[in-house]
Amino acid sequence: MHKLLTDSPGMEMLLLGNEAIARGALEAGLSFATCYPGTPSSEIPEQFFRISQETDLCFEYSTNEKVALEVGAGAAVSGLRTMVTMKHVGLNVAADPLMTLAYSGVKAGMVIVTADDPYLFSSQNEQDNRYYARLSGLPMLEPTNTQEMKDITKMAFELSEELELPVLLRTTTRLNHVRGKVTLGELQPIKTKGEFKKNPFHFVAIPAVSRKLHKLLLEKFDQASEKSENWPENKIIGSGKWGIVTNGVSFNYVSDAVSDLGIQDQVSILKAGFSWPLPKGLIKQFLEQVDKVLVVEELEPIMENDLRAIAQELGILKSIKGKGVGKLSRLFEYDPGMVRDAIAKYFEVPYEPPKTVDLSGIPELPNRPPNLCPGCPHRATYHAVKEVCGEDAIHPTDIGCYTLGVLPPISMADYLICMGSSVSSSCGFAEATDKKVVSFIGDSTFFHSGITGLVNAVHNNHKFTLVILDNGTTAMTGHQPHPGVDTTPMGVQRTQIDLEELVRGCGVKDVHVVKPFKVKKTKEAVKAAMEYDGISVIISREICPLFAKAIGKARKAKPFHVNPDKCKNHRDCINKIACPAMYLEGEQVMINQNLCIGCAVCAQICPENAILPSK
């Protein structure tokens, strides 16, 4: 049995933040869940995927976040409690349905998890999704620790149902990926079927309907404001004259700093757990009881500006500061020392920060960037394309493990903005420059948002080559399925969509399917595709070796070794493909027999044929 199905109220467990969210949803009677995976949110749906195999929970990995939200909307207006999870940039993809779903609302509780990523541990930007609450008019809740992630998730469903509005649950990486003690509550039964009561003049968002709905949203906003005022996790802690306003993970840094500095009696902390709409009454009380205010919030100065506006409205002239105090900035994440230092500075508390060990004399350490795995098929594909087009072509790329191809010596990435941008930006590069354009996109990313770009390329007669790196899984985020995957080994039955048929169906005439470990044939296909006068697509198909291992389908090939008698140290193997199974012993290239999976790509490029299968 999945550990989150343990029905022992009162029991304590060490749970990952994302597990706590999943548990909270189950304690709220979650019946339907959708997502597109994305760090740091991916472990939430991972739980649902496994739980759906043991229970009546209806769960799917949707093709992208917009689809996930729309699928979820259908369930939530039919009366099933629904959760939709995504990373922060995923909400950009889902922003279109979000804005109007806020108008028509839901019938059963719907919680949308947006997992923000300050410091960009694994994202293309560090946007602050608290703005989405303000943009859409939807309520936003922000837990501060693992226990709250469970409890507030449960409360979020109830709030959503009372307001008939989706509720945004915002987390950050340091909450999603922290383990802490959680006391379990009672599990609720899963509802298997809902009922949709037709009401087209509410649910069909034509202008005449939406004019009414916008007004309704504003009324609900007022109700939400009242809820925020009385929300248990919106509270003032302490009664001192020094005011600190904080939210999310920063609440912990503030609490620890106040206790480290021994200033509990001087401080009042305003904890914003229901952070939109803000509790104006509570803020008024807070502003009246303190002399000055420090706002400790990661990323954008949102509450800082809101507080200034509220103070102005109330005619309160007190210093309200946030960004710029000490090292508090709009960039990256905060840490306990930084917050302690800022509090000490702002309230003029004598404080000597701990002294970091003397770092002088440490030699320059070799970098250890993440790397494509030994035997990763992406490396083989990149090599073939680079051999054919040299340094001159432009290579738009996309989001996945293969983005690591930006690093030398592979260096096969020139442009990336977001999921799917490889295909559409290629259209622009091909028209705007005289260069050859060969772009890369993963299979999951292609299904997520590459298809529309490809249709555009065909229709508008753009000329470039798109390489679809088909490794049969969504590798980067932990091997989730996607529409092109045979899901049988994962224990679920889904219809597999044939990538080649799909590409041809988009109108592409020149389609090549290659096995990237066959170096010569792959290069021939690249050459042919690049010579084609129009849009050409290469599907480079080889299963992700990590995924293959996980489903018991690992290659049974022998590892390779370098014969030192034949090797003349050209080092093409190391300099061109950079497989981490290779290392130098003195001046001799060696292959780690435990890491090599026998893809044989290096053996095919060695000019001396010095790389041979081991016995």
Partner 1 sequence: MDTKRVVFVGVGGQGNLLASRLLGEAALSEGIPAVVSEIHGMAQRGGIVESAVLLGNVSSPIVSDGEADVLVGFEPVETLRALKKCNQETLVITNTHPLPPFTVSVGQGTYPPVDETLDLLQTKIKRVIALDGDAMAAQVGNPLSLNMVMLGALIGSGAIPIDADAMKKTIQQSTKKAFLESNLKAFDLGYESAKAQ
Q: What is the contact surface with partner 1 in residues (CB under 8 A)?
A: 12, 14, 16, 39-40, 42-43, 121-122, 145-146, 173-174, 177-181, 249, 252-253, 255-256, 259, 335-338, 353-359, 361-373, 401, 404, 408-409, 476, 546, 574-575, 578, 580, 582-584, 589
Q: How far apart are CA 10 and CA 244, in angstroms?
A: 33
CB of 584 to partner 1, least distance (A): 5
CB of 121 to partner 1, least distance (A): 6
Q: Which is nearer to partner 1, 529 or 597 (CB)?
A: 597
Q: Which is nearer to partner 1, 153 or 477 (CB)?
A: 477
- First-to-last alpha carbon distance for the chain, in angstroms, is 43
CB of 42 to partner 1, least distance (A): 8
Residue identified by tokens 């028509």 is 104
Phi, psi of 121 (to 5 degrees): -60, -40
C-alpha torsion angle, residues 123, 180, 245, 227 (rounded to 10): 100
Separation in Å, CA 538 to CA 135, 467, 471, 514:
41, 5, 13, 7
Q: Which is nearer to partner 1, 364 or 565 (CB)?
A: 364
Given a contact cutoff of 8 angstroms between Cβ atoms, the answer to whether 575 and 518 are in contact is no
**Quick one: residue 86, left, alpha or beta (phi over 0 = left, psi -120 to 50 = alpha)?**
beta
Q: Do the strands 267-272 and 234-237 form a parallel or antiparallel pair, or are they unpaired?
A: antiparallel
Q: Which is nearer to partner 1, 12 or 486 (CB)?
A: 12
CB of 249 to partner 1, least distance (A): 7
Name the strands in the sheet holding 234-237, side by side, starting at the edge strand that comes first in the sequence: 234-237, 267-272, 242-246, 292-296, 319-321
Q: 604: Cβ–Cβ under 8 A, 6 or more apart, which residues?
A: 519, 520
CB of 120 to partner 1, least distance (A): 11
Given a contact cutoff of 8 angstroms between Cβ atoms, the answer to whether 246 and 296 are in contact is yes
Q: Do the strands 319-321 and 267-272 form a parallel or antiparallel pair, or are they unpaired?
A: unpaired
CB of 159 to partner 1, least distance (A): 25
CA angle, 604 then 607 then 610, to 5°: 75
CB of 90 to partner 1, least distance (A): 15
CB of 163 to partner 1, least distance (A): 30
C-alpha torsion angle, residues 249, 251, 254, 256 (rounded to 10): -80
CB of 423 to partner 1, least distance (A): 24
CB of 506 to partner 1, least distance (A): 31
Given a contact cutoff of 8 angstroms between Cβ atoms, the answer to whether 271 and 249 are in contact is no
CB of 131 to partner 1, least distance (A): 24
Q: Which is nearer to partner 1, 270 or 538 (CB)?
A: 270
Q: Which is nearer to partner 1, 19 or 161 (CB)?
A: 19
Q: Which is nearer to partner 1, 80 or 339 (CB)?
A: 339
Q: Which is nearer to partner 1, 14 or 314 (CB)?
A: 14
Q: 208: Cβ–Cβ under 8 A, 6 or more apart, which residues?
A: none
- At 279 the three-state DSSP class reads coil
Nearest to 482, CA basis, from 471, 52, 491: 471
CB of 274 to partner 1, least distance (A): 20
E strand or H helix at 254: helix 250-261
Phi, psi of 419 (to 5 degrees): -55, 125
CB of 79 to partner 1, least distance (A): 35
Name the strands in the sheet holding 465-470, side by side, starting at the edge strand that comes first in the sequence: 438-442, 465-470, 536-541, 510-514
Q: Which is nearer to partner 1, 255 or 449 (CB)?
A: 255
Burial of residue 152 (number of CB atoms within 10 Å: 0-12, 13-18, 19+): buried
Q: Which is nearer to partner 1, 336 or 489 (CB)?
A: 336
Alpha helices in 317-400 (DSSP H): 336-346, 377-389
